[in-house]
Structure 1
Amino acid sequence: MTAHPRLLEPLQIRDITVRNRMVMGAMHTRLETLDRPVERLVEFYRARAKGEIGLILTGGFAPHPDGRMDPESGVLDSPEAIVEGGHREITRAVHDEGATIVLQILHAGRYAKVPGCVGPTDERARINRFVPRTLATDEVWDVVDQFVTTARLAREAGYDGVEIMGSEGYLLNEFIAERTNTRTDEWGGDRDGRFKLPLEIVRAVRAAVGPDFLVVYRISSIDLVSGGLTADDVAELARRVEQTGADIINTGIGWHESTVPTIAASVPRAAWAFATRLVKDAVSVPVIASNRINMPDVAEDLLVDGVADLVSMARPLLADPEFAKKVREERTDEICTCIGCNQACLDAIFTDRAATCMVNPKAGRELDFLLPMPTIRRRVAVVGAGPAGLAYSVNAAERGHLVTLFDGSDQIGGQLNMARQVPGKNEFNEALRYFRTRLAGLGVEMRLGTVAGVAELAGFDTVAVATGVTPRIPAIDGIDHPKVMTYIDVLTGAKTPGDSVAIIGAGGIGFDVAEFLLGDEKESVDPHAFAEAWMVDQSLARPGGLLAEARRESGPASHAITLMQRKPERLGRNLGKSTGWILKSRLVHAGMSEVAGATYLRIDDEGLHYSVDGDAHVLDVDTVIVCAGQVSERTLYDELVAAGVEPVLIGGAHTAGELDAVAAIGQATRAAYELT
């Protein structure tokens, strides 16, 4: 008896059999901006289909150029676009591997980052600098025709269906909600008018594509913005969408301009099940659950509990394209779990780069790793079991080399062991579980608690040095005062800060230390604690599902914290685009103070002396925590070079700066593939 019978159960919809209940959700990847884009997209989707996912939903394709997400986004509006986009190659690759594939039709509306974007009104979205042009009444009918054209082209290209994107604040969502639809023509006004556009699109697409082609509708099950839908609105729209011809209803969570996080690691797993259940209870067609579902047990429970019929996992399929195969083979401990960090996927997209994955740098770059196995099996020593050392060890061993991993600590992980202590970063535990399992399965020899020197490394064909970083200690008078600690002292529990704290350095580490001291560890694991903190109405009685459009004030803080930086600019500018605002919001509501443009004068019994614009101040604090950057630890590397060895230098030992696991794991993975 399998441990996940519902996940593995096939689903028959019309004439199509989806081989299991696991769905790869739609993702905007920007792979089309890289070299050889069609080949990259083919290999990207092929890998997930080969990994036995049941249903693939592609990234969104606009039905018209004015609906593109950005200038480089795909548009499917002509037969030529089928050829240029490589759609037939994509569908053929996916079908050859036994999966079902559906093309998402997405009109970004006022979110489109292109001149000439359109919307139900000319009100600009706060997350877009472009002002939309109001669609005239006749032009809205043109939008219906545009969706129909794209659906027909999708069928011609070999897709099994289309998903009509009606959530996340895009065009259809904008017409549905009173927040953005103040029209008085046939496309606005009462609920019938506001619902008209998505229903006309579903009706027209259903008529155009025939009975043996899937029509999926993605509904916003909770808007998380003021002026959004109520529970009654969502249920009624779901019923009408079903009646109009949809075969499946997928659930989206929140508008992109919402001030409530929806998919970051700070959101508990399956936190939105209550909103999905609302849709499921309203309709008889299959419903897909989505958002922060990254483990098979969580997905199975949603199906068993009747919350949904299928489970969408987008970023988890970046992290591990073989997720579904490992579930079938009952190798779930070997799943490389999405940790919800967003650093290499969403943060990349929001800064005009192509997406990949922190824990799987091959994601979106599959073409670069289609290399023959090495002809020589090398004896490889890796020194340092932090992110870079772990990635190098796993990839080198997968390529057939004999790997021995050294670390002076008695556990793997390096600085990941500190990161996982921070509230909202508990998913790093899954990354360490994956590496432990994979290293054991590959037969990597582990020499933990061993400080490797030149003598211990003699006889290896290749030595990779991943010795990481040490904290940079700034030259401040009194930096050796007893009240001074480093971030390592604090996050490892070696020292305990006092009640009043100054943090020197407002990079990612400084913010993490502040969160470690002020954060609520329950918030990222308990859906009810999360909902209470972010003022989410789990009854869905209020429009948009919000009790208030701001995070609640925290109770008395455990520490009085002042976060400081030298640069005279806003603190946190370099935090992740998709997660930094979450962290800053939590800390501000917890009462953290900020100082920018500080010149540190001295530290003494009175506290931290500093000046801003020439004005002197003193912070009467118990503790000063130094988070002022890192220095590469290259002692072993230099000793090896002096001994005539040419080691491979990776991770923080190669480049110090802000702790950057994305760069460390990516560099280490590519370096392992260079071993021939």
Structure 2
Amino acid sequence: MTDTDILLTPFSLGNITLASRMVMEPTITSLANDDGSVSRSLMDFVMARAVNRPGLIVLEAAYVHPTGKGYVRQLGIDHDGLLPGLTELVSAVHSHGVPIFTQLMHTGRYALPQALQAQPVAPSATRPRIPRDPPRELTREEIAELVQSYAAAARRARRAGFDGVEIQAGSGYLVSSFLSPYANKRTDRYGGSLENRARFLLEIIDAVRQAVGPEYPVICRFNGDEVMEEGNTYEEVVSISQLAIDHGVTAMNLLMGWHESQKPVVTMEVPQDHWLPLAARLRQAWQVPVIMAYGLHTPALARQALIVGACDLVGWARPMIADPELPRKIRENREEEIRPCVACCAGCFGRVFRGYSLTCSVNPWAGREGEYRTEKPSLIKKVLVAGGGPAGMQAAITAAERGHQVKLLEQAGRLGGQLRLAAIPPYRQRWQSFLTYLEQELPRAGVEVITGAPLTSGALEAEKPDVLIRAVGAIPARLDLPGLDRWPVYPAVEVLEMPELPPGRNWVVIGGGLIGLETAEFLAARGKEVTVLEKEKSLAKDASAFDRAGLVRRVREKARTYTMVSEIRVEWPSLVAIQGDTAITFTPDAIVLAVGMEPNPALNELMLAAQATETFAIGDCLRVADILNAVHQGAEVGNLV
């Protein structure tokens, strides 16, 4: 883009001027040391993004009080002993001309038990709808102590050299749980009326402002919509936020939903521009600058948000996890090279919320930036990759980027493997953007790609590779059920690629895991009457926590589902499912098998006979897992050779 690109125009935020409208948003990484100090991994993560010069970095949430630590290896700012690491990080970011704020947070009732190792605290003893320990109600004395802990943390941030601070007042964490009538059931001066519920936030803002002075930037991260049935109304949101502005916040950082919201907020099924109208409405109500994230995952959407007046600054958390070079690629007119965030949430939220360090499905080095070998190998090797799924493509790209001579052979007529299939079901099309990215990266990295070319002994003899990487994926598991073949029977993976479905209205899907439910939704969208039979108690147990609820809800709206099916038998022309003591009879026109995948044994013998110095098996042909594992294994092997 040119210098007139609205994303690249400067913007004044309080007493500092940002070089662009692009903000790296805070997100918990669980990369700090166990004691809350800055680790080498956290430094590497931040600096990999700072060198690409976003207009502003807002560092991840740092707990302001020992009771506020809610995540494993969460960053802290609750005592002066943490200042050396924070100061070093700030100085490193500043060396690239990038201002940096830090977010101040108390996790409250969302604290992971293994992180806090104590009972969480909250305005009331209202248990969250996600798996957490029940909280206890804070006393008035404890509330006063916490207010001062925010002030002390802000003072500490300024001493460390941070250019500003952000108060986390959303997402269901402690401050927002005070604000919301859903979580706040107090009857004293901190509960009940809107003014009382807002008191904790306003006291924090006042204390922070007194600690850092009138000119120091203070942002408030705030829910435009809690997406909670018993939460604040739009009118209450406007009223509370206006009180925060009146008490001296410099800008509002808009977010949507709580972590326990029962409706989707940040996943693939939410259109990327879904929150723009609400953001535009709130920006008109607020007379301070507005930062917005939530769905603006492409430069085009980010520009649209700025142009229509939905925000003044665009916030990117997950997009900059996926591609640390995002701001640089925009400045250098290389937007087609941006590695896209697909909103799968598997490597970021999905891992951190379970106590693991952040990573990314599409960026295998996220959270492991220091492990990537940037030096060129002393010996250039001839690398042959068999299989063009996500594992094979990523292995080929990584090996070629390091300087090796790489050829990729794919038996099918096109690349993608399971990644191509993942992009077919409803609401999953964003996987296609990642497949397109990999397909374009292969020639950019210098990989020779040949499709429609299975690896044979003759081809192996002709190539004589130094390194052979087997990445031939998985094949559908079979179901041995006498008489089942009297119906048309299709593996789920074949159904998803059918340009036209065979005739017959009534389809039975055997298997209620992720692929079974995605195939059921695919069939229902094409007018089929669908029944899903699952032996387990729950549906889609292998889906990510962020996808599962929405997928199960949608399938149950469109199809009949039966769980705890102990037996299926054929009583032609009927299919009988046993559920407890009940026999349920169906008369299907076609049957879909979705009973799992198995490693593809193809090329096992060829690998054993290969004369290559190094041989590797990666992806689903080694162990059936997910796209994240396939991409990571490919990158690791490509980095190893």
Q: Structure 1's 387 and 4: CA in aligned 2 closer, same or farther, altered over 3 A?
A: farther
For 1:637 and 1:395, locate their aligned partners in 2 and report how far apart those are by CA, in whole Å.
24
Distance across 1 between alignment mates of 2:159 and 2:451: 57
Residue identity opposite 2:366 in structure 1: A
Partner secondary structure for residue 110 of structure 1: helix
1:371 to partner: Cα distance: 4.8
Partners of 2:65 and 2:599 in 1: CA distance: 50
Q: What's the offset of the Cα at 1:37?
A: 6.6
1:560 corresponds to which residue?
529
8 Å contact from structure 1 (residues 600, 610) kept in 2: yes
| Aligned-partner residue type, residue 440 of structure 2 | T
Q: Is 1:345 aligned to residue 313 of structure 2?
A: no
Post-superposition Cα deviations, 1:356-397, rounded to whole Å, max 9, x if no partner, equal 001111000112214522112222221211111110111111
1:100 positional shift:
1.9
2:422 is matched with which residue: 403, 407, 419? 419
1:347·1:578 contact (CA, 8 Å) conserved in 2? yes
Q: Which residue of 1 aligns with 2:100?
A: 101
RMSD: 2.2
Aligned residue type for 2:471: A
* Cα deviations by residue, 1:284-316 (Å, 9 ceiling, x for unpaired): 321011112211100011001111011111111
* Selected match of 2:307 from 286, 304, 308: 304
Q: Structure 1: give runs of 5+ residues left out of the alignment.
A: 520-556
Asked if the contact 1:500–1:623 (Cα under 8 Å) also holds between the matched residues in 2, the reply is yes
Cα offset for 1:220?
Answer: 0.8
Paired residue for 2:31? 31
**CA displacement at 1:33 relative to structure 2:** 6.3
Cα distance change of structure 1 residues 128 and 406 upon mapping to structure 2, 3 Å threshold? closer
- Quote the residue 1:171 is aligned against: 174
Structure 2 contact 205–244 (Cα < 8 Å) conserved: yes
Could you tell me which amino acid in structure 1 is paired with residue 575 of structure 2? L
CA distance in 2, matches of 1:227, 1:278: 22
In 1, distance between residues paired with 2:120 and 2:418? 44
Find the counterpart in structure 2 of residue 636 from structure 1: 603
- Amino acid in structure 1 at the alignment position of 2:54: I
Is residue 109 of structure 2 the alignment partner of residue 140 of structure 1?
A: no
1:571-582 → structure 2 map (5 Å cutoff): 571-582=539-550
1:463 and 2:468 equivalent? yes
1:124 aligns with 2:90: no
Distance 2:273 2:204 in 1: 30
The alpha-carbon deviation at position 70 of structure 1 amounts to 3.6
Q: Letter of the aligned partner of 1:160 in structure 2?
A: D
Q: Check whether the contact 1:571–1:594 (CA below 8 A) recurs between aligned residues.
A: no
Which of residues 566, 575, 586 is equivalent to 1:608? 575
- Contact 1:379–1:460 under 8 Å retained in 2: yes
Q: TM-score, normalised by structure 1?
A: 0.89
Cα deviation, residue 614, structure 1: 6.9
The one-letter amino acid of 2:492's match is Y
Q: Using structure 2 for the length normalisation, give the TM-score.
A: 0.94
Where 2:7 maps in the other structure, the secondary structure is: coil
Give the CA deviation at 1:426.
Answer: 0.8
Q: In the superposition, relative to structure 1, how do residues 225 and 174 fare at CA in structure 2: closer, same or farther (>3 Å)?
A: same
Aligned to 1:543: none
Aligned to 2:6: 6
- Is the CA contact (8 Å cut-off) linking 2:169 and 2:222 kept in structure 1? yes
Query: Which residue of 2 is the match for residue 489 of structure 1?
Result: 494
Per the alignment, do residues 503 and 579 of structure 1 end up closer, same or farther by CA in structure 2, a change over 3 Å counting? Answer: same
Q: Judging changes above 3 Å, is the alpha-carbon distance between structure 1 residues 4 and 294 closer, same or farther for their aligned structure 2 residues? A: farther
Match of 2:82 in 1: 81
Contact between 1:235 and 1:279, CA under 8 Å: does it hold in 2? Answer: yes
* Aligned-residue offset at 1:71: 5.7
Partner of 2:41: 40
TM-fit CA distance, 1:665: 0.8
The answer (yes or no) to whether the contact 1:637–1:647 under 8 Å persists in 2 is no
CA contact (8 A) 1:503 1:561 kept: yes
Distance 1:504 1:33, change over 3 A: farther
Distance, in Å, in 2 between the alignment partners of 1:376 and 1:625 is 49
Partner of 2:212: 209
Q: Distance in 2 between matches of 1:564 and 1:51?
A: 50
Aligned to 1:539: none
Measure the CA separation in 2 of the matches of 1:189 and 1:589.
Answer: 37
C-alpha deviation, 1:334, in angstroms: 0.5
- Rate the CA distance shift 1:139–1:371 in 2: closer, same or farther, 3 A: same
Give, in whole Å, the separation in 2 of the partners of 1:223 and 1:355.
24
> Take 1:32 and 1:468, find their aligned partners in 2: how far apart are those partners?
35
> Contact 1:45/1:93 (CA < 8 Å) preserved in 2?
no
Equivalent residue number for residue 393 of structure 1: 396
Equivalent residues, number: 632
The residue that corresponds to 1:65 in the other structure is 66
* Equivalent residue number for residue 499 of structure 1: 505
Identity %: 32
CA distance in 1, matches of 2:29, 2:175: 22
1:262 to 236, 260, 265: 265
Which structure 2 segments of 5+ residues have no match? none
> Within 2, Cα distance between the matches of 1:251 and 1:403?
45
Q: Secondary structure at the match of 2:603?
A: helix
Q: Name the SS for the 1:156 alignment partner.
A: helix
- Name which of structure 1's ranges 452-461 and 501-510 shifts more when overlaid on structure 2: 452-461
Task: Tell me the equivalent position of 1:219.
Answer: 222
Question: Alpha-carbon deviation of 1:616?
Answer: 4.7
Show CA shifts across 1:339-368 (max 9, x none).
111112221122221120011110001122
Where 2:228 maps in the other structure, the secondary structure is: coil
Q: Distance in 2 between matches of 1:424 and 1:74?
A: 34
Alpha-carbon distance between aligned partners in 2 of 1:635 and 1:281, rounded to the nearest angstrom: 60
Q: Say whether residues 1:228 and 2:227 are aligned partners.
A: no
Q: Is the 8 A contact 2:72 2:355 kept in 1?
A: no
1:485–1:495 contact (8 Å) kept in structure 2: no
Letter in 2 for 1:611: I
CA–CA distance in structure 1, aligned partners of residues 58 and 201 of structure 2: 19
Aligned residue type for 2:74: S
